[in-house]
Copies of this chain bind each other. A is one copy, B any other.
Amino acid sequence: MQKEDCGRMAGFFPFWDKLTGEEQKTICRNAASAEYPKGAFIHRASEDCVGVLLVKEGQLRVYMQSEDGRDITLFRIDEGEACVLSASCFMQEITFEILIDAEKDSEVLVIPTAVIRRLSQENIYVENFIYKQAAERFSDVMWTMQQILFMSFDKRLAVFLVDEAAKTGEDTLTMTHDQIARYTGSAREVVSRMLKYFEKENLVELARGRVKLANKKKLQELARK
């Protein structure tokens, strides 16, 4: 790997200064650079176990796919962030199927699973980073799944936005998240998170006290589901 990549490791890994010099060298020596054009498929959990991915540039998308090919975005990994779930095969208990592709043209550093596995056995701070990250990502995912699959709140919110736009004749609604929560019988926090999820999916654009329907066609589809 390039020397400058090694210099960036401390930014990706909060445990960097808890490693011995030898451990730091092991990571740097074994990190491989990879480039993925937008849309490229990177990883399927059941088939390989590529390792920890560090996003130098671009953005990755982590998602699940149902048998009929529908997919649901779980979260995105931005520039400067690490993804440990692509090395999840070494966490015994993690057995569900996730897929990863490149959301934008991306440059990624890959730390092979075997290297991370050995370090996490030797060094509690490495193990801690991995499980903490996994717990936080899972929690996000659980929230999304609960709202979308269990409560259909994505659909209910889409119905509300589409109806409101039809009523007012405007594609930009002047409403706070609080008001939307009251109308949809939900909590403000739930509304805010789902709107942010919609924004990442390019369905809406958010500004203070305003929601702009950026892709009314997709929102209408979602509302009809």
Contact = CB atoms under 8 A, between A and B. Distances in A.
Contacts of A183: none
Interface residues of A, number: 32
A149 B145 contact: yes
A135 B94 CA distance: 8
Contact of A139 (B67, B136, B138): B138
A139 B145 CA distance: 13
A125 interface: yes
A95 to B, nearest CB: 6
Interface of A: 64, 66-67, 72, 91, 93-97, 124-125, 127-128, 131-132, 134-136, 138-143, 145-146, 149-151, 189, 193
Given A67-B151, A131-B131, 14 more contacts: A64-B150, A66-B150, A66-B151, A91-B135, A91-B136, A94-B139, A95-B139, A127-B132, A131-B135, A134-B135, A134-B138, A142-B142, A145-B145, A149-B150
